[in-house]
Structure 1
Amino acid sequence: MGKISIVGLGPGDYSLISQGALELLQSSNRIFLRTEKHPTVDQLKQQIDYTSLDYFYEKEENFENVYLHISKFIIDESKKGDLVYAVPGHPRVAEKTVGIIENLAKQNNVEVEVIASMSFVDAMFNYLAVDPADGFRLIDAFELENSPIDPKTNTIITQVYDEFIASNVKIKLMDYYDDEQEVYIVNGAGIKGQEQKVSVKLYEIDRYRELFNYLTSLYIPKSTKKMYNTVYDLQSIMKVLRSPEGCEWDKKQTHETLKKSLIEEAYEVNQAIDNDDIDELIEELGDVLLQVVFHSQIGEEEGFFNLGDITSAICKKLIHRHPHVFKNENIDMNEFDKTWEDLKREEKGETTVTEGLKRIPAYLPALMKAQKIQKKAALVGFDWDNIEDVHKKVKEEYKELLDECKSGNIKYIKEELGDLLFSIVNLARFLKVDPEEALNMTNAKFIKRFDFVEQGAIKLNKRLEDMTLEEMDKLWEKAKFQ
């Protein structure tokens, strides 16, 4: 088994290759370049024989596969003897294949040595006359979608090969920066005679197509303009509001005093959805998020939990309840509701279905709670066979209610009315109709028709209190056709 020596070719200028890397390249007879599309190679090819691995880029669909197959190829080649694997820049800076090769090498007992050269990051900071000690974050353009962006930190984005990638980067960054944010397009940093830098506004970066190639990166200085677009911004504001110098009202709130607020805000979200009003929905979802951050701040002050604990708990729950997504387990999606309930019982340590029924919050609206109870029972087979049986049950409960009404015993009337409502919820479930929504539709319809009646009375110069039921009923009938 041979040794793998990984060397850096520097940022692009021949003078910036380290002496150690150059000596190793000149003394080896088995050299593999991840890519020969690098300015240094023009001078190196006069001194060394090498094999370019650029053909991997042509036969693979994405960079992840390219990097993996190149890494496996290098490991396989090491079985034939010592070799040198050369990569642009510094092997430890934004070079995915190096990490993969080292991991595979450990599994195969292959010795790996890394010989550094200057990185393109060093060249960029030197060219821009910026001190990296001020802090920075390095992000691959192809991983930007899943990378956290911190406008308070200087950022370098690599592999901005063309205007299409630049456009995607721009769209992503606009979620975190002002459109007028200063951005430097840097091309050929560290290569004498080829270095270029252009300072542009964020919204303009994809307009400079002539600057984009495999040597292009973006440098975004830390922003001085606050965008307030992350949950952490909200968390910071809440900490101020709860601080000794904050707001007296916010400081005196507790989990108990805020209890109803979250419910009210959730209903306002529902209202915004029903109104099909996006601006209202954004505002109301913000109010819900505020409640979560408010509770997390109180929890942090009391030393019991913080926002990180809340996030961690829901992430773990989602992963556990989606084993078909995160663990590649086979699940019958036709029975996903039952699987979800089984996983929930497992999390709670429950051994019976009844424990799950008792766990349903007492504060839920009664129709919604009845619906949940019936659904949980139905998942284990405790349900009507067909809707005709449900029709019979509704009629039966209605008859029992009428019988109790004749007796005048309010206790039993309330009980039978509850039974009738419960059976109506069952009917709604079989009809695949949400009983809360159905009743709310009727509430809205009643208000609309009642308004028609009242406006009709006003036109007649009458008050509703002075009208007979027959007069109001005539207006009500007309309201049905409005």
Structure 2
Amino acid sequence: MNPLLIVGLGPGGRSRLPQENLSALKEARAVLLRTGQHPSADILIEEGIAFETCDDLYDNADTFEELYEGIASRAAALPEGAAFAVPGHPLVGERSVARLLAMRECRVLPAPSFIEVTLEACGEPLSTALQVWNAHDPEGHFPDPRSAQLVYQVDSRPAASEAKLRLMRFFDAEHLIAVVQAAGTQEANVARVRLHELDHFEFTPLTTVFVPPVPIERPHGFYGLVEIVDRLLGPGGCPWDRAQTHETLKKHLLEEAYETLAAIDSGDPDKLCEELGDLLLQPLMHAQMDAIEGMYDIDDVIAGISDKLVRRHPHVFGDASADTADEVLANWDAMKQQERSGQPTSILEGVPDAMPSLLRAFEVSKRAARVGFEWPSVEEVWKKVEEERDEFLRATRSGDAARAQEEFGDLLFSLVNVARWHGVEPEDALRRMVDRFCARFRDMEAAAGKPLRDLSAQEWDDLWRRAKSSEAGDPAE
């Protein structure tokens, strides 16, 4: 079977439709247009070329993916000697063509795309990078303000609004842009407006938007930060940063993690935003230090965690089902076993020895319970607490310090299990309690009026009660 002919119709003006393409359509056994809602369809009518369209699929498809698949399937079923025609250039912005090329052998007759005629209409010489993206998929694109932006398929006010919101994350709202209507036709029109005015127009399938680049030193967002870190670590960078190693940065990673926890506890979103930035810097420093040595970089780190998240969430990205958090965790454990070549491993593998002991105990307890090592009820856990309390007291009375330490550890671990049964995070609970104690003690220091060592037991008690009562919403003892 001969290849299916895919014909580009150009942007809509007769002068932009190559004669070779027009002749091929006249000679075709049958002609299928992706859409008849395009100026090029009128040219075919004038030339006496009969055709059918896929416009009915636009009305019946629930999603764009379903639409493109339907168009490609219809085109793939065309008989030998037929032609499938699309606006513009078949290989530019035509998702149905991308699917069709995977279904059937094809031959493409090119034509001018919306890119050339939009730039021509704007009178914009292209001397920098150009990013081209679909207004119906704004989140799938990450604009770099140093590059010009060309947004196509801005065919409705909602699409324009979504594109505007995406662009305003990277460009100033007052940035001057061009809204281009019907580029490449006699009806071509260009409106120069501010970015925030983008969705104040009437739109058609022939509307495109051109956004000039901004002369900035580095991109906004994450990759701007990557460039800064690379500069700090590179030749001529910061002597302190260049002297760091993974070992010397360990303490800074811990400090920033704890400062982030404090920001979460404070309830201050501005503080949390700041601390998350400080925390983000740490893995970036580690990754880019190894990038200098040619091992891996932050993109490899992101690719690894992205693949892992998709792989371990088949109930979201695949066909598996998990209706509860417990089912998710069970699937997670099974997948981790598979990732280790099916070799049996401990359920406790992956719990870092360096974790804070209370947090580590909580995680170990949770994992053991997930595979069945569990008490039948919380009442039984409380009985275990009483048992460990008695054993600890006997050890202290015997004067055996080593045994007392061991028994106190057993008591703490039992209390961790009580916390787990009641849905309490023990590390978080203890940290918050210590924060409350520190705040109360500082209040007592300020209110004492004399050296603390000179306070009587009653004065200590009064000051403590005063400090507690000054806290809003303080829980009862």
Partner of 2:194: 201
Q: Deviations over 1:103-123 (max 9, x none)?
A: 1115xxxxx322222222222
Question: SS at 1:77's partner residue?
Answer: coil
Distance 1:99 1:205 in 2: 29
Relative to structure 2, which stretch is displaced further, 438-447 or 94-103?
Answer: 438-447
Within 5 Å, give how 1:78-477 maps onto structure 2.
78=79, 81-106=80-105, 112-132=106-126, 134-192=128-186, 194-207=187-200, 209-210=201-202, 212-225=203-216, 229-331=220-322, 333=324, 334-348=326-340, 351-352=343-344, 354=346, 356-357=347-348, 359-458=350-449, 462-477=450-465
Distance 2:349 2:172 in 1: 50
Percent identity at matched positions? 37
Unaligned regions of 5+ residues in structure 2, if any? Answer: 471-477
Distance 1:353 1:374 in 2: 17
Distance 2:333 2:139 in 1: 33
Question: SS at 2:178's partner residue?
Answer: strand
Distance 1:24 1:296 in 2: 55
Distance 1:412 1:189 in 2: 85
Distance 2:341 2:439 in 1: 49
Summarize the Cα distance change of 1:353–1:377 in structure 2 as closer, same or farther, 3 Å threshold.
farther
Q: Deviations over 1:212-235 (max 9, x none)?
A: 211110111222135753222111
Deviation at 1:399, TM superposition (A): 0.9
Summarize the Cα distance change of 1:351–1:380 in structure 2 as closer, same or farther, 3 Å threshold.
farther
Distance 1:379 1:154 in 2: 53
- The 8 Å contact of residues 28 and 83 in structure 2, kept in 1 or not, is answered as yes
Distance 2:453 2:434 in 1: 22
Question: SS at 2:246's partner residue?
Answer: coil
Distance 1:155 1:25 in 2: 33
Distance 2:258 2:27 in 1: 73
Q: Deviations over 1:47-71 (max 9, x none)?
A: 2222232121112223222221122
Question: SS at 1:157's partner residue?
Answer: strand
- The 8 Å contact of residues 178 and 225 in structure 1, kept in 2 or not, is answered as no
Summarize the Cα distance change of 1:322–1:264 in structure 2 as closer, same or farther, 3 Å threshold.
same
Deviation at 1:332, TM superposition (A): 6.2
Q: Deviations over 1:100-143 (max 9, x none)?
A: 1221115xxxxx32222222222222223334464422211112
Aligned pairs, number: 468
Q: TM-score w.r.t. structure 2 length?
A: 0.92
Deviation at 1:413, TM superposition (A): 1.5
Partner of 2:69: 68
- The 8 Å contact of residues 177 and 227 in structure 1, kept in 2 or not, is answered as no
- The 8 Å contact of residues 145 and 220 in structure 2, kept in 1 or not, is answered as no
- The 8 Å contact of residues 144 and 219 in structure 2, kept in 1 or not, is answered as no
Distance 2:248 2:342 in 1: 31
Relative to structure 2, which stretch is displaced further, 364-373 or 304-313?
Answer: 304-313
Distance 1:175 1:227 in 2: 15
Relative to structure 2, which stretch is displaced further, 319-328 or 256-265?
Answer: 319-328
- The 8 Å contact of residues 2 and 83 in structure 1, kept in 2 or not, is answered as no
Distance 1:350 1:274 in 2: 41
Q: Deviations over 1:130-177 (max 9, x none)?
A: 344644222111122112322222221101112221111110011112
Distance 1:40 1:456 in 2: 85
Distance 1:164 1:300 in 2: 42
Partner of 1:109: none
- The 8 Å contact of residues 155 and 205 in structure 2, kept in 1 or not, is answered as yes
Partner of 2:59: 58
- The 8 Å contact of residues 121 and 180 in structure 2, kept in 1 or not, is answered as no
Summarize the Cα distance change of 1:116–1:480 in structure 2 as closer, same or farther, 3 Å threshold.
closer
Q: What is the letter of the counterpart of residue 132 of structure 2?
A: L
Distance 1:349 1:75 in 2: 42
Unaligned regions of 5+ residues in structure 1, if any? Answer: 107-111
4+ long deviations beyond 4 Å: 348-353
- The 8 Å contact of residues 265 and 287 in structure 1, kept in 2 or not, is answered as yes
Q: What is the letter of the counterpart of residue 338 of structure 1?
A: A
Summarize the Cα distance change of 1:475–1:289 in structure 2 as closer, same or farther, 3 Å threshold.
closer
Deviation at 1:358, TM superposition (A): 5.5
Distance 1:136 1:358 in 2: 48
Summarize the Cα distance change of 1:349–1:332 in structure 2 as closer, same or farther, 3 Å threshold.
farther
Q: TM-score w.r.t. structure 1 length?
A: 0.91
Q: Deviations over 1:387-435 (max 9, x none)?
A: 1111111111111111111122221121111111111111111111111
Distance 1:266 1:204 in 2: 42
- The 8 Å contact of residues 9 and 117 in structure 1, kept in 2 or not, is answered as yes
Within 5 Å, give how 1:12-23 maps onto structure 2.
12-23=12-23
- The 8 Å contact of residues 29 and 81 in structure 2, kept in 1 or not, is answered as no
Q: Deviations over 1:71-113 (max 9, x none)?
A: 21222232xx43122211111211122121221115xxxxx32
Q: Deviations over 1:420-452 (max 9, x none)?
A: 111111111111111112212322332343344
Deviation at 1:258, TM superposition (A): 0.4
Relative to structure 2, which stretch is displaced further, 468-477 or 66-75?
Answer: 468-477
Distance 1:227 1:312 in 2: 23
- The 8 Å contact of residues 176 and 227 in structure 1, kept in 2 or not, is answered as no
Question: SS at 1:139's partner residue?
Answer: strand
